[in-house]
A and B are shown apart, each in its own frame.
Chain A
Amino acid sequence: MKNSLFVQGLKQGLPIALGYIPIAIAFGILTASEGIPFITGILMSLTVFAGASQFVAVNLMSLGAASGEIILTTFILNFRHFLMSASLSQRLEESTPKLYRSILSFGITDETFSLASVTNLEDNKKLPFSFLLGLMLISFTAWNAGTWVGLFMGNILPEILQNSMGIALYVMFIGLLVPSLKSSFPIVVVALTAVLAHSAITFVPWIPSFSTGWNIIISTMLGAFLGTILFPKEASNE
């Protein structure tokens, strides 16, 4: 039985779930306060499951933007998952059937992808389906539960606490990255390149800036590309 791997996935996903809840609550509150039907917010968290794009979509809906514009913006914002999916496909156990792969791919977010990528299971270089399923399921559940709380229970959190919680997922990313930085020089170079590239795109006026989604894609590819040129070995965070 692979039950224990599933449970291990659930446990590993706990920090993501904790980070998602306040953000999903904020999403629910925003949806309710903009006068968007509750069913739309609920369905969005169930079927899209991609944080930033959901906030943007609700915002655009409240402004009365055209359907095509909202859908195109969503596509652009979420296209970075394409890169993550390609990267994760190489970490997944090769025997995983296509149906299972297509189920897992729904759960790819910045957070589940990052956490899965830095995970090394004992005597197992590849990631099994049941582990990823657990990881993604707890994240998905938290995202949807938070959405409901935000929609139906409104402002239960004091504003100052909500403000501080915006940082939760970012500091989780820090927690995922720092151990790899300590153990691998190539990873330092790759991550730093992406940070500098993204900062340059964001802050230097004469460097063209696109939507956040594209800026992240460009910076990520620059960092990974430099690593590929400079270092002959695949990245490993052991």
Chain B
Amino acid sequence: MNNTILIVLGMAVVTYIPRMLPMVLLQKLRLQPYIKRFLSFIPFAALGALIFPEILFSTESVPSSIVGALLAVVVALYSKNLILIVLSGILGSFIYQLLFL
């Protein structure tokens, strides 16, 4: 039996448990209003923290990431179409790399 398979199983367990416990246990619990409020803000705080600053280092160079990100922001201001937004981000950084790297 390969050791790396055992490691993967361990990883699976420690990843699944934090994902599962709140989802299953908070079902019937009556939460205080301020806790509900806190939880309702989590997605937007998480999005902010997930995007920045990591996005800067998501492509070969910081400038190419910035160009892709800015193009995506502009498209997102006018459209909610996620696929369009994603493609414009990729395209922005791709074109920058073609031209300047």
- Chain A contacts to B: CB under 8 angstroms: 14-15, 18-19, 36-37, 39-40, 43-44, 47-50, 53, 57, 61, 67, 70-72, 74-75, 78-90, 92, 94, 96, 98, 101-102, 104-106, 108, 110, 113-114, 117-118, 160-161, 163-168, 170-180, 182, 186-187, 190-195, 197-199, 202-203, 212, 215-216, 219-225, 227-228, 231-237
The secondary structure that dominates the B interface is: helix
- On whether the beta carbons of B46 and A84 are closer than 8 Å, the reply is yes
8 Å CB interface, B33-73 against A: 34, 36-55, 58-60, 64-65, 68-69, 72-73
What distance in Å separates the Cβ of B97 from its nearest Cβ neighbour in chain A? 6
Of A53, A84, A102, A180, which one neighbours B15 at CB under 8 angstroms? A53
Most buried by A among B45, B48, B59: B45
- On whether the beta carbons of B76 and A219 are closer than 8 Å, the reply is no
Q: Write the chain B residue with the least CB distance to A164.
A: B94
- On whether the beta carbons of B94 and A199 are closer than 8 Å, the reply is no
Of B31, B38, B46, which one neighbours A114 at CB under 8 angstroms? B46
Interface CB pairs A-B, < 8 A, 23: A18-B86, A37-B4, A78-B19, A83-B42, A84-B43, A96-B27, A106-B16, A110-B50, A114-B46, A164-B91, A172-B89, A173-B50, A177-B51, A193-B48, A194-B49, A199-B52, A220-B45, A221-B45, A223-B49, A224-B41, A227-B37, A227-B45, A232-B37
Complex: A53 Cα to B8 Cα, angstroms: 11
Q: Write the chain B residue with the least CB distance to A47.
A: B12
Of A53, A82, A237, which one neighbours B21 at CB under 8 angstroms? A82
Please judge, given known A-B contacts A79-B18, A164-B64, whether A191 and B47 are in contact too, CB under 8 Å: yes
Q: Which 3 pairs of residues, A with B, have the shortest CB-CB distance? A: A171-B89, A223-B45, A117-B43
- On whether the beta carbons of A220 and B2 are closer than 8 Å, the reply is no
- On whether the beta carbons of A47 and B9 are closer than 8 Å, the reply is yes
What distance in Å separates the Cβ of A221 from its nearest Cβ neighbour in chain B? 7
Complex: A204 Cα to B12 Cα, angstroms: 34
- On whether the beta carbons of A174 and B76 are closer than 8 Å, the reply is yes
Of A67, A74, A105, A228, which one neighbours B41 at CB under 8 angstroms? A228
Residues from chain B with a CB closer than 8 A to the CB of A202 are 53
